[in-house]
Structure 1
Amino acid sequence: MNKVYSSAQEALEGLLFDNMLIASGGFGLCGIPELLIDAIVESGVKDLTVASNNAGVDGFGLGKLLETRQIRKMMSSYVGENAEFMRQYLSGELELEFNPQGTLAERMRAGGAGIPGFYTKTGVGTVIAEGKDHRDFGGETYIMEEGIFADISIVKAWKADETGNAIFRKTARNFNPPAAMCGKICIMEVEEIVPTGSLDPDHIHMPGVYVHRLIQGEHEKRIEQRTTRQKAEA
Structure 2
Amino acid sequence: MTSKVYKDAMSACADISSGSSIMSGGFGLCGIAENCIDALSKMDINNLSIISNNIGNSGRGLVKILVQNKISNAYCSYVGGNPDLEKQMLDGSVKVELIPQGTFSERIRAAGLGIRAFYTPTGYGTLIAEGKDVKEFDRPCILEEALHADYAIIKAQKADPYGNLWFKETARNFSPLMAMAAKVTIVEVEQLVGLGELRAEDIHLPGIFVQRIFQGTNYKNDIEFLKTQD
Partner of 1:31: 31
Q: Is the 8 A contact 2:31 2:173 kept in 1?
A: no
Matched residue type, 2:211: H
Distance in 2 of aligned mates of 1:179 and 1:86: 25
| Offset at residue 135 of structure 1 (A) | 0.9
Aligned pairs for 1:63-142 (under 5 A) are 63-137=63-137, 139-142=138-141
Mapped partners of 1:122, 1:207: distance in 2: 31
Gaps of 5+ in 1: none
Identity %: 46
Q: How many pairs does the alignment contain?
A: 228
Deviations 1:50-76 (A, max 9, x none): 000001113221010111010001100
Judge conservation of contact 1:150–1:184 (CA < 8 Å) in 2.
yes
Residue deviations 1:60-110, cap 9 Å, x none?
210101110100011001011111011211222210001011111111111
Cα drift, residue 229 of structure 1 = 4.2
Paired residue secondary structure (1:109):
helix
Cα deviation digits, residues 182-213 of structure 1 (max 9, x gap)? 11000000100111121111111111110000
Matched, 1:164 2:163: yes
- Taking the aligned partners of 1:158 and 1:144, their CA distance within structure 2 comes to 36
Aligned-partner Cα distance in 1 for 2:121–2:207: 33
**TM-score where L is the length of structure 2:** 0.95
CA RMSD of aligned residues (A): 1.2
Query: 2:162 & 2:115 partners in 1: Cα distance?
Result: 25
SS in 2 for 1:73: strand
TM-score of the aligned structures, taking structure 1 as reference length: 0.94
Q: Would you say the 8 A contact 1:58–1:64 is kept in 2? A: no
| One-letter amino acid matched to 1:55 | I
Distance apart, 1:167 and its partner CA? 1.0
Instruction: Give the aligned partner of residue 222 of structure 1.
Output: 222
Q: What is the SS of the residue equivalent to 2:10?
A: helix
Query: 4+ residue stretches of structure 1 with deviation over 6 A?
Result: none
1:200-230 CA distance string (max 9 Å, x none):
1111111111000001012111111112448
Q: Please give the alpha-carbon distance, in whole angstroms, between the structure 2 residues aligned to 1:65 and 1:58.
A: 13
Residue 64 of structure 1 aligns to a residue in which SS? Answer: helix
Amino acid corresponding to residue 105 of structure 1 in structure 2? S
Amino acid of the structure 2 residue aligned with 1:156: K
CA contact (8 A) 2:23 2:182 kept: yes
1:168 maps to amino acid: F
* Residue aligning to 2:14: 13
